[in-house]
Amino acid sequence: MNVFIPTEIRAHERRVAATPETVKKMVTAGFTVTVQAGCGERAYVADSEYVTAGAVVVNDAKAGYEGAQVVLKINAPQALDKGHEVDYLQKDSILICALVPNAELDLIGHLVTRQVSCFSTNLIPRITIAQKMDTLSSQANIAGYKAVIKAADHIGKYFPLLMTAAGTIHPSRVVVLGAGVAGLQAIATARRLGAQVEAFDVRAAVKEQVESLGAKFIEVEPDEDMEDAGGYAKQASAAYLERQRQEISRRVAASDIAITTALVPGRKAPILITTEMVKSMRNGSVIVDLAVEQGGNCELTEPGIHVKEGVTIIGDPNIASDVSVHASQVFARNLWNFMDHIRKDGSLEIDLEEPITDGSLLTHEGQVRHQPTRELIEQGGKA
């Protein structure tokens, strides 16, 4: 099978879906690999490095797609000036990328029409054997780190406590809302920089993890069960949300920096920081909203960097891309590990009885196989 890696065309994207390391593994496993010229340039990978690893370089995407049975991408296919990247995909080819199903329903219909077998890494089951394939976690880890660095760039304060001849500098106060992979990395990074950190999550089970990183866990009396079978946060009750709102409001008002990471799969991100909360923050405070792509956890978040009510609100929908070298390395390894799991004799085998294959297969043989996405399409796209 010929594997093709195109240049990502999404705005501000700097990552690449394969590195010389993973290209070499693919070639050793019996695949032929083609890369588009310059595809790794923004991740500081030269075309010559891909050639050394065993890949063939083609000048344009169309030529690469024409001979490809497998296409590896970071993002879902994008619209072009004329047409769409999906139009380049060959019938019965396999696409592996981090497509967000509920945000790309029209695109999914296009994939079905083209009879493309699309695996979304966002749908890979959260089971132990699949951890090494989990692009959501690998990129969230980077996003949590970079969120703190961006906050440090925009706050007019030191992070650590400093005792100076001119007096004491008090440490910045950081509140992290959502203690999943991104939130825990944000906590760890803020603590390494010397900030005082508090963190909140609807899952009481993460309290020990938060405290092990040196942060204080914000406790709100929970509903009976706040976590689903996959380990994700569930939709909360109205009573719980009110208790949560009151406690978070108090903590946000006292903070210098708020970092929000709360997501519920397949739904709009929950609003955790209201306009009134933003108004309660001191001038010069910073909010970094990592949920911006799903609507944002802050009511005032928009893509980009904006100052509202005296608060700098950062809504970067692709923050992991700013760490393009390491983000590409781990994403590429995730993709290779997935390919390695389903490969057989230099080909990718679609075994519908195998749980990782079946769980992540979004479209196949002209049908939407992922049931929640199929139901969403049937409902007219309304979650």
The more confidently predicted of residues 331 and 245 is 331
Boundary of a domain, candidates 291, 317, 343 = 317
Whether pLDDT at 378 is above 60 = yes
**215 closest CA partner among 252, 237, 186, 242:** 186
CATH number at residue 242: 3.40.50.720
Torsion over CA: 334, 227, 255, 242 (sign): positive
Q: Is the pLDDT of residue 235 over 80?
A: no
Question: Is the pLDDT score of 223 beyond 90?
Answer: no
Tens digits of residue pLDDT in 264-317: 765 788 899 999 999 999 999 999 999 998 889 999 999 999 999 999 999 998
- What residues make up the domain containing 170? 140-317
Are 162 and 299 part of one and the same domain?
yes
Residue 383 included in any domain:
no
pLDDT in tens, 323-356: 999 999 999 999 999 999 999 888 999 999 999 9
Helix axes 135-154, 324-342, angle to 10 degrees: 170
Q: Are residues 44 and 107 in the same domain?
A: yes
What is the length of the chain? 383
- Shared domain check, 166 and 67: no
pLDDT value for 99 = 93
pLDDT at 187 (0 to 100): 98
Span 5-19, average pLDDT: 96
Task: Specify whether 271 is located in the same domain as 335.
Answer: no
Does 194 share its domain with 312? yes
Q: Is the pLDDT of residue 107 over 90?
A: yes
Contacts of 263 (CB under 8 A, 6+ apart): 178, 180, 233, 269, 291, 294
Pairing status of strand 347-348 against strand 343-344: antiparallel
pLDDT of residue 203: 85
Are residues 269 and 222 part of one domain?
yes
Give tens-digit pLDDT for 129-142. 999 999 999 999 99
The mean per-residue pLDDT over the stretch 98-123 comes to: 93
Residue 224 — pLDDT band, cuts 50, 70, 90? low
d(CA 365, CA 369): 9
Chain mean position to CA 88: 25
Give the span between the Cα atoms of 235 and 113, in whole angstroms: 34
* pTM for this entry: 0.91
Strand partners, 307: 312
Intra-chain end-to-end CA distance of the chain, in Å: 37
Q: Which helix (H) or strand (E) holds 63?
A: helix 61-66
pLDDT digits (tens, 9 = 90+) for 23-48: 999 999 999 999 999 999 999 999 99
Tokens of 309: 């009510």
Q: Which residues pair with 175 in a beta bridge?
A: 198, 258
Tally the domains of the chain.
Answer: 2
Shared-domain flag, residues 223 and 160 = yes
Q: Is the pLDDT of residue 244 over 90?
A: no
Residue 129 lies in a domain: no
**Domain identity same for 75 and 162:** no
Q: Rounded mean pLDDT of the chain? A: 93
Q: Which of 276, 296, 317 is the last residue of a domain?
A: 317
H or E stretch including 304? strand 304-308
What percent of the chain stands above pLDDT 90?
81
The answer on 249 and 232 residing in a single domain is: yes
Strands 216-217 and 257-260: unpaired
In this predicted model, which residue has the larger pLDDT, 186 or 377?
186
Final residue of a structural domain among 317, 335, 356: 317
Does residue 133 sit within a domain? no
pLDDT at 234 over 90: no
- Classify residue 100: in a domain, yes or no: yes
Q: Tell whether 256 and 300 lie within a shared domain.
A: yes
Is the pLDDT confidence value at 228 over 90? no
Sheet with 286-289, edge to edge strand ranges: 216-217, 196-200, 173-177, 257-260, 286-289, 311-315, 304-308
Confidence tier at 160 by pLDDT (50, 70, 90):
very high
In three-state secondary structure terms, 343 is: strand
Position 205 pLDDT exceeds 60: yes
Distance CA 254, CA 257 (A): 9
* Catalytic machinery residues: 126, 131, 134, 137, 232
Task: Determine the average pLDDT of the residues in 237-264.
Answer: 90
Mean pLDDT of 240-252: 89
Are 185 and 193 in contact by the 8 Å Cβ rule? The answer is no
Residue 246 resides in a domain: yes
Count of C-beta atoms within a 10 Å radius of residue 30: 12
Same domain, 297 and 341: no
In a domain, residue 84? The reply is yes
Confidence check: pLDDT of 76 > 90: yes
Contact 38, 63 (CB under 8 A): no
Check whether residue 181 and residue 207 sit in a common domain.
yes
- Residue 13 maps to a domain: yes
